[in-house]
Chain A
Amino acid sequence: MGGISQPQLIKNGAEAYLYLAEWQGRKAVLKKRLPKKYRLPALDERIRTYRTVHEPLLMHEAKKAGVPTPTIFFVDVKNALIVMEYVDGKQLKQLLNEVSNDERKRLCRQVGELVGRLHKYGIVHGDLTTSNMIYTRDGKIFFVDFGLGERTKDVEAMGVDLHLMKRALQSTHYKFADECFRNVIEGYSKVLDAETVKNVLDKVEEIEKRGRYVSERRQRKA
């Protein structure tokens, strides 16, 4: 791992450790997927390798779709390590709780547009939470953490993606989750055609009712 200096732990996430470091004189983030003791080594290695390979590829593809993502500097598959550009900005998770109603509305629409671009291009993110979105000073929103993403245009996968976004809003921004999600959909609808949007939203509704305990399902049957 030549050229990396003074890694400093910034986050002990569940999935990976994040370090702030310098790589060839640039400020960089090191993302290292450490072995999980609870998983069998064979299973663990398969999962970590898969995600380490796929994450940079998807981040690269996302740029083509017009969604800002950190530039990948270096990938070390054997050590499940990714070195990427450090994006200076604020997590949307924090920002949404601090800004005015109008600004929150605008940010959510912007998020919706970006998710729309990903889906239109055939990428699902797999973990759309506001902690995986970074707002920079020049007004861009960077998406990070594509480890659970995939290349697909399957309506089901797109529906799950939006469902996860909705759920993440409900658990971290429960005071204005519904309003946020509405605005996300507004932005999303600007990018995708009406028919796709309708199909995906129908899917979201179906997922919510599927096999799980939701009162609407009972009403629909009746």
Chain B
Amino acid sequence: MASRRREGYCLGIESTADDFSVGIVSFDGKILANIIDASVPPEGGIHPREAARHHTEVAAQVLEEAFRKAGIKPKDLTVVAFSQGPGLGPCLRTGATVARALSSYLHVPLVGVNHCVAHIEIGKLKTGAVDPVTLYVSGGNTIVAAFEAGRYRVFGETLDIALGNCLDVFAREAGLKQKPGEPFGAIIEKLAQKGEQLILLPYTVKGMDVSLSGLLTAAINVLKSGKVRLEDLCYSLQETAFSMVVEITERALAHTEKKEVLLTGGVAANKRLQEMVRSIAEEHNAKFCTVPSEYAIDNGAMIAWTGVLAYTHGITTPIEESFVRLRWRLDEVEVPWVE
């Protein structure tokens, strides 16, 4: 790789969990396509093998649609990026296989991207944030991070389960049904808006970390007691859980004295959470940046854009090192393109 092209297109494949997505982004940061195909299990949570089967089935079609939307041909690609981790093994492997095949067939370099880094990078691209404290809340992650000395450092995180997971498990216990376009989080949000009575639930902040499993267990116990309205319980669960993650975000903001707060991940779509994060941003004279939903959920464009950043800073992933990394932490990744 003697010289790296400064212009071109990167195709990014995202497949860490239940979504399979392909994004195409130009080197100057224009998003030409971002096609997302979600697998919705008929019941229960994500089954890794079933989700991977979904990814295999839709891959060709999503790729084709992405090229059509972007108005480019496969031979126009400069680099192929894929989500290398963290995530569910079978799902990650499906995306990686597609990426390796494209890379070898088209003779273009491959870049393995950290999924959490990608969420932050697309958030910065879409909101114009430069150096934010990020609150990333989804089904698999609950992280408060900020850049310091070459990496995104994790200032706070969950000690057990992720925020989105906490809400999803509760929703399933309550017998709620999600459908395409209306995930559990949105259903709980709607119910919570009709809540009036605050039910006391465990509030567990430890240092800059939170623990959500005790809260979930307590909420399920109250649910099973049958003594309260579901609306009130959703309201109380949201208020308690959100207050906890917002408290640790505020602590990171006070500690780092950064001037922007970025809210991203699937749970970022929640209006009440947005309102709370906006409130702490104002308190600390920081700008509140919330990522548009299409780019806050798992998406291929974020992988493509991070692929551009990595590739133009000399990072590629040889095929023999492109194995997936199920537990690849955000703070293990060097990000030479920042600062």
Taking Cβ atoms with an 8 Å cutoff, the residues of A that contact B are: 12-15, 36-40, 42-43, 46-47, 126-129, 131, 148, 160, 163-164, 167-168, 170-171, 174, 207, 210-215, 217-218
Q: Across the interface, which residues of B come within 8 angstroms of A36, CB to CB?
A: 243, 247, 250, 279
Residues A218 and B326 in contact in the complex (CB < 8 Å), given A38-B276, A38-B280, A43-B240: yes
Say yes or no: B280 contacts A210, CB within 8 Å: no
Q: Select from chain B the residue with minimum beta-carbon distance to A125.
A: B207
CB–CB A214/B329 < 8 A: yes
**Contacts across chains A and B counted by CB atoms under 8 Å:** 98
Q: Name the contact of B155 in the complex, choosing from A12, A38, A127, A171 (C-beta under 8 A).
A: A171
B206 within 8 A of A: yes
Question: When the two chains form their complex, are residues B203 and A15 in contact, meaning their CB atoms are under 8 A apart?
Answer: no
Chain B residues lying within 8 Å of A170, measured Cβ to Cβ, are 153, 331
**Given A38-B279, A213-B326, is A14 in contact with B254 using a C-beta cutoff of 8 Å?**
yes
Nearest A residue to B327 by beta-carbon distance? A213
A148 touches B206 (CB 8 A): yes
Minimal beta-carbon separation of A220 from chain B (angstroms) = 11
Is residue B160 within 8 Å, beta carbon to beta carbon, of the partner chain?
Answer: yes
Chain A residue nearest to B207 (CB atoms) is A164
**A12 & B200 in contact (Cβ 8 Å cutoff):** no
A22 to nearest B CB, angstroms? 26
Among B86, B159, B280, the most chain A Cβ lie within 10 Å of the Cβ of B159
Is B329 in contact with A213, judged by CB distance below 8 angstroms?
yes
Task: Assess the A38–B246 pair: CB atoms within 8 A.
Answer: yes
Contact between chains at B86 and A213 (CB < 8 Å)? yes
**Contact present for A15 and B207 (CB under 8 Å):** no
Query: Chain A residues with Cβ under 8 A from B198's Cβ?
Result: 40, 42-43
Question: Which chain A residue shows the least CB distance to B142?
Answer: A212
Instruction: Return the contact of B209 from the options A14, A39, A164 (Cβ within 8 A).
Output: A164
B103: A residues at CB distance < 8 A: none
Q: What residues of B have a CB within 8 angstroms of the CB of A46 in the complex? A: 200
